[in-house]
A and B are shown apart, each in its own frame.
Chain A
Amino acid sequence: MPFIPHTSADVRTMLEAIGVPNIETLFEEIPSALRIGALEGVPSALNELQVLQLMSARAREDGRPLCFIGAGAYDHFIPSAVWSLITRGEFYSAYTPYQAEASQGTLQSIYEFQSMITALTGMAVSNASMYEGATAVAEACLMAVRANRKSKSARILIPRSMHPHYRAVARATTANQGLVLEELPFARASGQTLAETLKSYEGSDITALVIQQPNFFGVLEEVDELTDWAHAQGALVIAAINPTSLALLKPPGQWGAKGADIAIGDGQPLGCPLSSGGPYFGFMTARMEHVRQMPGRIVGRTVDLDGRRGFTLTLQAREQHIRRGKATSNICTNQGLLMMAGTVYMALLGAQGLEHVATACMSRTAELVAALTALPGVRPMFGGAHFHETVLRLDRPVAPILEALAARNIEGGFDLSPYYPEFGPSLLVCATESRTSADISAYALALGDVLKNVRAA
């Protein structure tokens, strides 16, 4: 079949064959009230030159600011080889192939991605990727309900110290599927979710507990204690993790006595540029006993009739082309290209390289916090161990400060005040390995200056 759009003659022939006067008739069964006539707000078409001019102008508006925002997406260095390799024609597709086994190279690269992700997380099995971190959390919640057959409540505990966007997406995705997401408080002094504050949930039917490590505040949670607590309640543990942090932290497969049941995260730190919020990719891993409840595609290694190594899509009976409405999810095509970026990034860096990145991030962030908290009116919100971002308490509203910094070409952090009003003015800051000591001094100098000009509350 040639990939050429239908001509009007083709369309006419097809309509005649099924005895329908026009395409519009095919949609008649949808009540007119549910149909949209004109698409308001969608401008008329532009030609290629006009689009290029528009996008170049937009890109100029973005500028090249010094970025100190983390909050789920991180400005890491990406070796040039990553995007040179994956933009080769052989790799350049967002799709997993339809004639899967005919595309052995693509399947091998997915298999290598899965292998590296399982090595990083310490989990038994990985799928071929998810859309991004937030939908991975949502899918993990749905998966936990299917996997925890002893639990009937479909009740999932999510710490309030988890990324607010992840919580919002999980809620939006699961609310109409009968799941109950309950938010857990965190300790005000440490920013941690503590098992001792969860007493009121003991003895009730809980399907799963989500644990984000590091949490949204960059604070390290007591993952062993929380994991054991959840398992004692008969709940599954969903770990939401930053992949870079796993170069230094205990992998979720080793949390507590039994390890997490499902581990997911956003793969953006592994080779994906910030690019105005995406596209990124997500990853999902699980214990082997839950593999049939996992969404997405899984590539397996096998041998052909002659005993030669080959790769194949495996466990497809979970998927929608076979299980239809009872499939584990409607994810089949995923973020193939971004997943490939992650694979090449991990292969280039290796375990030691990733550890260097993670260590550099931690020391840069420590340097940043030291420089900023030396200023009057800037204090750390939480003590304790952090990974590569941290919350600062300010003595005046954050929004005008960030605006003034942006005017000086500095993205100063993520304003937490709208999401955590109880904090008062508060700022989540991050420094990756890409920020130099000079960058950090420039930020501290600019903030000192801005604080003199922005009035205290």
Chain B
Amino acid sequence: MSNAPADRRYARSHEWVRDLGDGTVEIGISDHAQSSLGDLVFVEVPETGRTLAAGEACAVVESVKAASDIYSPLSGTVVAVNEQLASAPELINQQPYEAGWIFRLRPADGAGVAALLDAKAYLAVADSE
């Protein structure tokens, strides 16, 4: 049984979005996602400044035997990336909701967030997989 903090929203493709309150959001992958992938060995983050459409593949997380795309839950512009992941991809395994964040986005509009799941709805999706 994985956990999903209630202070953020989730995409069905297992990314979380946290509102940072300054017009930007932080994005990472859920505890369920990291435990399904296993030990991560590499993370390819998007470039700062890149414009993303909602649902666009923008990052890759790689474990020993698998690689998965990360999709941007919202459309917007990448304002920061977690540089620490380059040398410490295991941060995603250890702290998926805190130190393991992947990138920060300035959303193009506020509309997309409402379409995302709350923690309870997301856990129902994750547990049904």
Chain A residues within 8 Å of B, Cβ to Cβ: 149, 292, 316-318, 322-323, 326
Contacts and interface: CB of A to CB of B under 8 A. Distances in A.
A292 B43 CA distance: 11
Q: Contact residue range for chain B?
A: 10 to 19
B47 A149 contact: yes
A295 to B, nearest CB: 15
The SS class assigned to the A binding surface is: helix
B67 A322 contact: yes
Given A149-B47, A322-B67, 12 more contacts: A292-B42, A292-B62, A317-B42, A317-B62, A317-B63, A317-B64, A317-B65, A318-B67, A322-B65, A322-B66, A323-B67, A326-B69
Nearest to B41: A317
B66 A317 contact: yes
Nearest to A326: B69
A122 B69 CA distance: 33
A14 B55 CA distance: 40
Contacts of B62: 292, 317
18 contacts: A149-B47, A292-B42, A292-B44, A292-B62, A316-B65, A317-B42, A317-B62, A317-B63, A317-B64, A317-B65, A317-B66, A317-B67, A318-B67, A322-B65, A322-B66, A322-B67, A323-B67, A326-B69
A79 to B, nearest CB: 40
A292 B44 CA distance: 10
A105 to B, nearest CB: 23
B34 to A, nearest CB: 16
Contacts of A322: 65-67
Interface string B25-65: 00000000000000000101001000000000000001111
Contacts of A316: 65
A345 to B, nearest CB: 34
Contacts of B47: 149
A410 B65 CA distance: 55
Contacts of B63: 317
Nearest to B69: A326
Nearest to A323: B67
